[in-house]
Amino acid sequence: MFINWRKGFSRLMGVLWIPLGTMLLFMKVPERGWKEALIVLALFILFYALTVYVLKGFTWQD
């Protein structure tokens, strides 16, 4: 049961990164240029990949 909760938590974190990142992206677009928006998108993808990698590493240790 504990392992299933950890897998569910990692899936929840993976799902939560998507709306947060897109919200930040669309908040930055009107006041800044498209170059900054692309930088924000690249950082979002990097943090998303890092979070998935770390959480999968924790679940794989079981």
Give the 3-state secondary structure of residue 62: coil
In a domain, 40, yes or no: yes
pTM listed for this prediction: 0.41
In a domain, 55, yes or no: yes
Domain count for the chain:
1
In a domain, 10, yes or no: no
Residues 6+ apart with CB under 8 A from 13: 51, 52, 55
* pLDDT tops 70 at residue 59: no
**Rounded CA gap, 30 and 37, in Å?**
9
In a domain, 20, yes or no: no
Rg for the chain, CA atoms, rounded: 15
Kindly report, residue by residue over 9-54, the tens digit of the pLDDT.
Answer: 667 777 777 777 777 766 666 665 667 777 777 887 888 777 777 7
In a domain, 25, yes or no: no
Burial (0-12, 13-18, 19+ Cβ within 10 Å), 4? exposed
For residue 45, what are the domain limits? Answer: 30-62
